[in-house]
Amino acid sequence: MPIATDFKDYYSILGVNKTATPEEIKRAYRKIARKHHPDLNPDDKDAEAKFKDLNEANEVLSDPEKREKYDRFGQQWNQPNYNEAPPPKETDAGNNFEQYGDFDSFINDLLGRSQRRDSSSGFRSQSPAPDTEAAIVLTFSEAFHGVQKRLQLDEDTINVRIPAGAKPSSRIRLKGKGRASPFSHQRGDLYLTIELVPHSFFRFEDDRLVCDIPIRPDEAVLGTEIKVPTPDGIVTMKVPKGLKSGQSLRLRGKGWTLQKGGRGDLFAKLQVVTPQDLNAIEQECYEKIQANTSFNPRAYLEEIKEEIKL
């Protein structure tokens, strides 16, 4: 039996130890895959090779059966005839391959796998095709509008259409586009996890699209109208008077594309920003406000002081 010379330490590739949980493996893969993703490293052959190794490591270590074989057999884990099962049964005439319904049945018997009897065709193999997990990095614009992408999976080039409205951590299933089973040669499904390149203005908080809008103290007190960027243009938003810093205003129908059609809401989180350099008139006005205001935002602290005395 040939000895594999291209053994790869999948645990080292993902930066985890051998006791890592499936969740730890998943987090490690997403973190490193994003760094070496071809979309973020165009024409970088080294990053492309690392990304391929990361996908390979994730596929093996995230599959309990493959991981068990990898931990048990080491560099020989993927050799189809490397196992501790007894040799195939022999008849008086030697190895009788005609007793098997198909080649998969022979392989299953060779590896000591359980098989299911089919009354009409003898023993039939039920070797499941492996599913493949991979990450795909999109810009906010690509995810918002939808995009066509070409992916490289081993030696295969896969064309995939990402529908408008893809969100971070959402998954897209490409049926029959995963890696092929070494036994049945059937292809499993490819699952793509969406990751978004951080945007300078928009972000997701849970399932909501959010942006931060700075306003002046006088705007918060008196109210105003301001211009707010949305994913597809600028809109005017009315800020009511007496607004608190950190309060959010909802812009209905101005948020993320919904996959069922239409638009979600955009939440503008307002932050009151104090001026650092005042001109003479501003200084005078703020001093007059300070000298004449009856508003005390710390009045409730008096009650706390009394409680402390108790």
CATH of the domain at 261: 2.60.260.20
- Tell me: pLDDT of 119 over 60: no
Amino acid at 4: A
- Tell me: pLDDT of 55 over 90: no
Residue 103 is predicted with a pLDDT of 47
Pick the last residue of a domain from 175, 197, 219.
197
C-alpha 57 chain-centroid distance: 17
272 phi, psi to nearest 5 deg: -75, 120
Distance (Å) of CA 273 to CA 127, 221, 238, 239: 63, 12, 18, 15
Residue 246 is predicted with a pLDDT of 93
The model's pLDDT over 31-54, given as tens digits with 9 standing for 90+, comes to: 887 787 776 777 788 878 888 888
262 phi, psi to nearest 5 deg: 85, -165
- Tell me: pLDDT of 120 over 70: no
Structure tokens at 247: 């309060």
**117 falls within a domain:** no
Count of the separate structural domains present in the chain: 2
Choice among 59-63, 80-84, 243-247 with the minimum mean pLDDT? 80-84
Q: Do 236 and 282 lie in a common domain?
A: yes
Which residue matches tokens 């992408």?
A: 149
The model's pLDDT over 278-289, given as tens digits with 9 standing for 90+, comes to: 999 999 999 999
Q: Do 226 and 246 lie in a common domain?
A: yes
Pick the last residue of a domain from 197, 212, 240.
197
The span from the first CA to the last CA of the chain, in angstroms, equals 83
**85 falls within a domain:** no
- Tell me: pLDDT of 90 over 50: no
Residue 238's DSSP bridge partners are 225
The model's pLDDT over 220-252, given as tens digits with 9 standing for 90+, comes to: 999 999 999 999 899 999 999 999 999 999 999
**261 falls within a domain:** yes
Pick the last residue of a domain from 197, 214, 241.
197
Q: Do 152 and 213 lie in a common domain?
A: no
Q: Do 245 and 215 lie in a common domain?
A: yes
Q: How far apart are CA 294 and CA 112, in angstroms?
A: 85
Q: Do 161 and 212 lie in a common domain?
A: no
Q: Do 151 and 183 lie in a common domain?
A: yes
Q: Do 208 and 285 lie in a common domain?
A: yes
Residue 248's DSSP bridge partners are 269
Residue 209 is predicted with a pLDDT of 96
Q: Do 209 and 288 lie in a common domain?
A: yes
Q: Do 178 and 236 lie in a common domain?
A: no
Residue 268's DSSP bridge partners are 211, 249
Q: Do 133 and 215 lie in a common domain?
A: no
Residue 305 is predicted with a pLDDT of 66
- Tell me: pLDDT of 113 over 90: no
Amino acid at 202: F
> Whole-number mean pLDDT of the chain?
80
224-230 and 233-239 strand pairing: antiparallel
Any residues with CB less than 8 A from the CB of 188 and at least 6 apart, and which? 128, 129, 130, 131, 132, 176, 178, 179, 180, 181
- Tell me: pLDDT of 254 over 70: yes
**178 falls within a domain:** yes
**Closest C-alpha to 58, from 27, 29, 92:** 29
**297 falls within a domain:** no
**94 falls within a domain:** no
**111 falls within a domain:** no
The model's pLDDT over 134-161, given as tens digits with 9 standing for 90+, comes to: 889 999 999 999 999 988 887 888 889 9
Host domain of residue 266 = 202-292
Residue 128 is predicted with a pLDDT of 60
- Tell me: pLDDT of 124 over 70: no
248-251 and 266-272 strand pairing: antiparallel
Q: How confident is the model at residue 109 (pLDDT cuts 50, 70, 90)?
A: low
- Tell me: pLDDT of 118 over 90: no
Q: Do 226 and 288 lie in a common domain?
A: yes
Residue 248 is predicted with a pLDDT of 96
**250 falls within a domain:** yes
Residue 252 is predicted with a pLDDT of 96
Residue 91 is predicted with a pLDDT of 38
Residue 84 is predicted with a pLDDT of 47
Q: Are 53 and 94 in contact (CB under 8 A)?
A: no
The burial of 55, by beta-carbon neighbours within 10 Å (0-12 exposed, 13-18 middle, 19 or more buried), is given as buried
Q: Do 208 and 162 lie in a common domain?
A: no
